[in-house]
Chains A and B, each alone.
Chain A
Amino acid sequence: MVQQDLDPRGDSVLEVSGVHKSFAGVHALRDVDFALRPAEVHALIGENGAGKSTLIKVITGVYRPDSGTVRLDGRERDFRNPLEAQAAGISTIYQEVNLVPLMSVARNLFLGREPRRFGLVDVGRMNREAAEVLGRYGVDVDVTRPLRTLGLGAQQMVALARAVQIDARVVIMDEPTSSLEPREVETLFSVIRRLKEQGIAVVYVSHRLDELYAICDRVTVMRDGEVVHTGEIAQLERLRLISLMLGREMATVRDKGTTAFDTDRHERQTGRPVLSAEGLTVRHRLHDVSLDIHPGEVVGLGGLLGAGRSETAKAIVGALGTDAGSVEIEGKPLHRRSPAAAIRAGVVMLAEDRKAEGIIPNLSVRENISLAALPRLSRAGVVSQAKQDEVVRLFMERLRIKASGPDQKVSDLSGGNQQKVLLARWLCLNPKVLLLDEPTRGIDVGAKAEVQSIIDELAADGLGVLLISSDLEELIEGSDRVVILKDGHVVGNLDGEDVSEDGLLDALATAPPLSPDDPDLPEQPGPATGPENPGGTPRAGSDPAAAPVKEKQR
């Protein structure tokens, strides 16, 4: 029986084959095969919704697959919960460090399997062993201190040490570096190399391509719930990798796309930009991002997940605090930075997360539309019903919002109609600049086309529009100009004929490795000796394993 369960090739520590998983009829995973060899670091990449997280959850026992098998060391396994997977040797380190912040480092490390003496926790032994274990990973900290007093990097290292302690055969890391400083990343890498030496296989999920090329051996690319590529990462060109992720063949330049945008470019009014952002900087997120928006143009903001697109929009309207930078509206600087001030100046943002940052779920369509305009629709603080009804009726008609009436609860509407309600909320303020963060995400095809043609019309009416979209086609066809972000830096500007998929993919692939906190742009080479990075930027090649992770008081 064991024989027939054995993996025919016998070279995989973990093998997922033919896995399907769907939620409420929507396929999250479709016939997914994934094989992990011992002592390899395997990158798992894909855009949002590609199915990475679902696959990880199937492997770690959070979800059970609808069909297909998961084999560990050649034996078919059916994990009913994460604990079973863990006991079998699959450890996971999540994005947010999921330990107990108020407990000591040692206690966290041994949580649930503390060394005991006479039935009580043997604290002395626990602390000794904890210090020893962490020392092996280059983390030199006082193990009796509460975990939360450590820097994030050190916390992550504790999580890693804990994961590996449990006789792990497979370690899954989900975006482990998203909150790390560059040198902490290096320490993490040296730990990963050590895991490899011990024969442990690592699944590495990250959006930072530079890291993938630095540490991974093989790569699996997912898109729309399917595996679209598996192979050696060294043999996969960066450009090819990006095009696989986004689902665009480099060579295929289509004449006409499937979006509802007019193929003609908008007539851009030259001269003074309506919005001009200078040097926006947010620690760990954005570095010196500048962009102009002219009346009547749609400026696309391109880049992969985590490049800082949403952050740029939020920094402009003051929803995200900036460390440096300024925003001018028609030449006048915005002094107070808050969404309210931006709205008064005529800059509005359609937020990406419709549910958390957009709709007021229990209020009616009428109230959701008029929310931001309430002061304008009131006299002496009393809302004028007549004015409110007029505005609401006008915009429900103009944007063709399908609701049983203005009094319907907004959360009862479809995603597309909710999005139109939010657009109406902003448009009734008669703004000068409209920042759209993923305006068509999660809405059906018909509504998507309608929203796209609305964007077109608005630009034609002279509004300045900033368009953020992960839908490459939408971005290319909707924008007159594209500003490309990577790791919080502006790395390119596409204009005119260059606004194409090839141009965008090219710019993304050729941009040099960056970190949002790198003080210098690549065009200005020089010793990287910014205050946040005193020793220069240690890149691949240096051996930071010797250097302990710097503890930081938080």
Chain B
Amino acid sequence: MTSLTWTGPALDRARVRRLLQDYGVYAALAVLFVVAVGLDTSFVQMSNIRVQLFQVAPTLLVALGMALVIGTEGIDLSVGAVIALAASVVPLYVGYGMLPALAVSLLLGAVSGAVGGAMVALARIQPIVATLSLMIGVRGLAEIVNGNSAKPVTQSGLLDLGSQSVAGIPEMAWIAGICALLTGLLVRRTTFGRQLVAIGDNRQASRLSGLPVRRVLITVYVISGVLSALAGVLIVGHGAEADPANQGLNMELNAITAVVVGGTPLSGGRVRVLGTVAGALFMQLITAVLTQHNVHTSYTQIVEAAIICFAVYASQERGTR
């Protein structure tokens, strides 16, 4: 009897899981928003929303690069350290103006990404190990460059970038949004993006199909490095100080969380850019809501952990042929 009735719900469950995988993060984000407003109507005030956007922008930038890397069945733990490195060189070059400082930071991010990518693609070191070593080394380098204390940054262009708004939305959020749009186009519309996804799904078949596997892998890590460096510069602008010892700490974990909650599987072969945006927003909002209602940080972390577990559980593909 039970065995007969079992097939019905099982099928439904598969469909529910599918829906959850595809749209779960958007639904969760909407529900969370409604709940947050229901608890405290001041949540929708523009000032609060701007605060949230300021905080989510760097995470989102890093998460976009992370989503690409994860799409190739890799992972990039060095992103937090790259933020620190980018921040550390800002005080050195900001005297020449904002653009030179930005250029040097992004260049360093690209170099760090190229090193990580080369380790993965050429030396075939597992991504988690390659970027872990990079994470440790680059953070050390950043502290050497900057010294141990935070340095104030007062260049007006940079400070504006980190605090001004255009049309009521912070410039940082505009930048992150544009980058998300470009990343989406990159994944969906370009040769590179399609090759990236194919390599993440079946690397051997991709190689046999003549895809430039190494080039794509290295490029993906370079993009991740550049986006992280950009996030680092924005963080410096927002905080008006460069503090490599503390900036970007745990950012790799936040980024991975956003990607995973957004429905991109860690097994590669799929990149969900819009999901990543929603994932980053969701994690930002849940922290904000809990904090605003005086829930202690320790509990907030436990809630985040539960969400991550659930997201990974939901994204597991079951019953595949």
Contacts and interface: CB of A to CB of B under 8 A. Distances in A.
A543 to B, nearest CB: 44
Interface in B132-187: none
13 contacts: A339-B210, A356-B204, A356-B205, A358-B208, A360-B198, A360-B269, A361-B201, A362-B269, A371-B206, A371-B211, A372-B211, A374-B195, A378-B191
Question: Which interface residue of A358, A359, A363, A374 has the most chain B CB atoms within 10 A?
Answer: A374
Interface string B98-113: 0000000000000000
Contacts of B195: 374
B207 A319 contact: yes
Interface in A93-143: none
Nearest to A354: B205
A365 interface: no
B207 A375 contact: no
A429 B21 CA distance: 36
Nearest to B317: A362
Given A340-B211, A362-B269, A371-B211, A383 B191 contact: yes
A518 B97 CA distance: 70
A42 B202 CA distance: 41
Interface stretch (A168-176, A343-351, A447-455): A343-351
A372 B209 contact: yes
Contacts of A363: 197-198, 201, 269
A378 B208 contact: no
Contacts of B296: none
Nearest to A356: B204
Interface of B: 189-192, 194-195, 197-198, 201-202, 204-212, 269-270, 320-321
Nearest to A344: B210
B270 A374 contact: no
A349 B192 CA distance: 23
A358 B198 CA distance: 11
A241 to B, nearest CB: 35
Interface residues of A, number: 29
A411 B211 contact: no
Contact of A357 (B201, B208, B321): B208
Contact of B191 (A343, A374, A425): A374
A381 B210 contact: no
B4 to A, nearest CB: 20
B192 A381 contact: yes
Nearest to B192: A381
B209 A381 contact: no
Contacts of B205: 351, 356-360
A359 B204 CA distance: 10
A344 B210 CA distance: 8
B209 A371 contact: yes
A382 interface: yes
Interface string A197-209: 0000000000000
Interface in A426-459: none
A186 interface: no
Query: Among B202, B206, B209, B320, which residue has the most Cβ atoms of chain A within 10 A?
Result: B209
B208 A351 contact: yes
Nearest to A340: B210
A319 B208 CA distance: 7
Given A361-B202, A371-B194, A383-B189, 4 more contacts: A344-B210, A362-B269, A367-B198, A374-B191
A406 B54 CA distance: 42
A342 B207 CA distance: 12
A428 B29 CA distance: 44
Contacts of A362: 201, 269-270
A339 B209 contact: yes
A193 B147 CA distance: 73
A18 to B, nearest CB: 30
Interface string A364-389: 00010001101100100111000000
A342 B209 CA distance: 10
B204 A357 contact: yes
